[in-house]
Structure 1
């Protein structure tokens, strides 16, 4: 039987929160840097996030390779830090699972063993499997832990998933949320429509993963027709690689959005005024000009400049910044106050986080 979320964590998930995708800290030999990995986790907790996603794309899928062997150590270290740092407030621990059904179920069992609350089920690497297989796989994983479905963009290994897929996924009792990250407005709308089509759609929280469209996703009310009539749905939060950097500003942005939902027009205008800056920053970090080739290295470079990481090393030696990406990161870091303000927040606490 599926391990259910506690009432407090379920309430947090559905109310909406900021969930960064946790990067992987390596040293110059490309070995696991536990000290800086702990520092990152401490940064996110103190920035005020409501959850962390570990073992996902931003953490590098290669941690699962037998010769790397970092899936358990990475999940275990984050869980240990959260045990020590979060206190009694509700906090969502999300583990990424990947691969065919057997692998995904085994990874979910590991996550459950280590105290995680739910799993983000990646569709990546399964292009040869049909939709029924993907749905059966989610159901099997859901026997272990609650599931967050995942619409992954094609540029990093995703595929088209139609409206009916999302209805059928939402129909599964173990599905508690979905992350929309197709980086496509039409496909995002199809996902929302599919969830609304389900009789249990109201039980499935919507989280944006569209790092290119964060603010509009959070501010848009989707007024659609469900099985019982008209319904309004929102993306209540985000599970985002982009929120692995400038995380305190992301928490502040989400607070503005929540005020806007409550009818604060000034907050809505202020949040909307940040939309272009957030998308511009994401273009630089995710290396959009080069079809996302430098996405992981871009995240690392921001964290390196802030002192949280020692370097931008990835498990794949071929991964690094693209030509011109460093200049773009310099440009956006100086252009926007909401990004510059993060530097002071980090500098004042960095020594403690790395101690």
Structure 2
């Protein structure tokens, strides 16, 4: 995929799930289940997949597990294999973490394995200056096109100034920004910075799992030196979309159609609240998001896509009452789940 094709594909928008990690009862990677998840996402109609990100568990990088290359390699090959059956544009994104030396090494690995862009985490920079972080991102962008990442502070992100984002959006090899502060004020900081830059080749993707539908429905308008500028989120790059993905694609397509109409169907705002309610059960904000990754895995386990809801860290488990909350939202909003779609295709995804 050329840089022009990559930019166009991201601007056209779509559903990009964050890839969960499939582990067996011994907490070892289960390649067959990992491939099944990827086949599910491709069959569901996603426009890309993000691997080696939060949902994939940052611990894959630790020496005791040493899973970064195996997971990235498996995911890249499984995506290519799935697309052979129905070729289309599809973006492969890999998370890049750590300080500069680690991030550059990971960026080179991602590029060598066929990934098109790197989602750059800045969570490791707790005390560095904004100038240092900008330089860090520019250096990664010299190796591979980058997607910026505004991460909520509750799970390790850092709040940046408006000036930071005004400079960040001018990085040459920037192709998109994942906006995920779970905070409307900070969301506006990024969108306003991009509007003021005048750039039309950088896509915005919501990572606000607590506000997915409203982000996608909102036309953001800001005054600039060249007059009013209107921006939309092109799509979403979301942990929430790692489950119920077929239904998420259908909802995304409906939202895209609504954006072209003169009047909004108010039932979409009801759906927006329902999706947020589902995310509360999935991401576990009631316990500081501690059950987020196990929650994703539990849904996939119930559907037969993974064998367990285990994480590499034994302390990461479902929170008290979280399983019951998942029961509740699945029963309350069956139109936002996709158990039937998975049941119909699961045998072929597991055996293909």
The two structures have a TM-score, normalised by structure 1, of 0.96
User: What does 1:277-316 align with in structure 2 at a 5 Å threshold?
Assistant: 277-316=274-313
Superposed CA deviations along residues 207-239 of structure 1, whole A, max 9, x for unmatched, are: 000000000000011110234221000111000
**RMSD of Structure 2 on Structure 1 (CA):** 1.3
Q: Is the 8 A contact 2:216 2:255 kept in 1?
A: yes
> 1-side partners of 2:181 and 2:2: how far apart?
27
Instruction: Please state how far the C-alpha of 1:5 moved relative to its aligned partner.
Output: 3.9
Q: Is the 8 A contact 1:179 1:207 kept in 2?
A: yes
Matched, 1:182 2:178: no
Q: Is the 8 A contact 1:198 1:227 kept in 2?
A: no
Matched, 1:8 2:5: yes
Matched, 1:352 2:348: yes
2:105 is aligned to 106
Instruction: Please state how far the C-alpha of 1:339 moved relative to its aligned partner.
Output: 3.0
1:233 is aligned to 231
Instruction: Please state how far the C-alpha of 1:6 moved relative to its aligned partner.
Output: 4.0
Q: Is the 8 A contact 2:7 2:203 kept in 1?
A: no
Matched, 1:249 2:252: no
Instruction: Please state how far the C-alpha of 1:9 moved relative to its aligned partner.
Output: 3.0
SS at match of 1:348: helix
Q: Determine which of 66, 82, 85 is the counterpart of 1:85.
A: 82
Q: Is the 8 A contact 2:248 2:336 kept in 1?
A: no
2:26 is aligned to 29
> 2-side partners of 1:143 and 1:212: how far apart?
33
SS at match of 2:191: helix
SS at match of 1:239: strand
Superposed CA deviations along residues 295-349 of structure 1, whole A, max 9, x for unmatched, are: 0000000101111111111000000000000110000010002234x00000000
Comparing 271-280 and 204-213, the one that deviates more: 271-280
Instruction: Please state how far the C-alpha of 1:125 moved relative to its aligned partner.
Output: 2.3
Matched, 1:328 2:325: yes
> 2-side partners of 1:309 and 1:56: how far apart?
18
> 1-side partners of 2:187 and 2:301: how far apart?
33
Matched, 1:51 2:10: no
1:96 is aligned to 95
Instruction: Please state how far the C-alpha of 1:270 moved relative to its aligned partner.
Output: 4.2
Q: Determine which of 211, 220, 223 is the counterpart of 1:222.
A: 220
2:157 is aligned to 158
Stretches of structure 1 that go unaligned for 5 or more consecutive residues are none
Greater relative CO, 1 or 2 (CA 8 Å, sep 6+): 2
Q: Is the 8 A contact 2:7 2:201 kept in 1?
A: no
Instruction: Please state how far the C-alpha of 1:147 moved relative to its aligned partner.
Output: 0.7
> 2-side partners of 1:155 and 1:35: how far apart?
33
> 1-side partners of 2:216 and 2:171: how far apart?
25
2:147 is aligned to 148
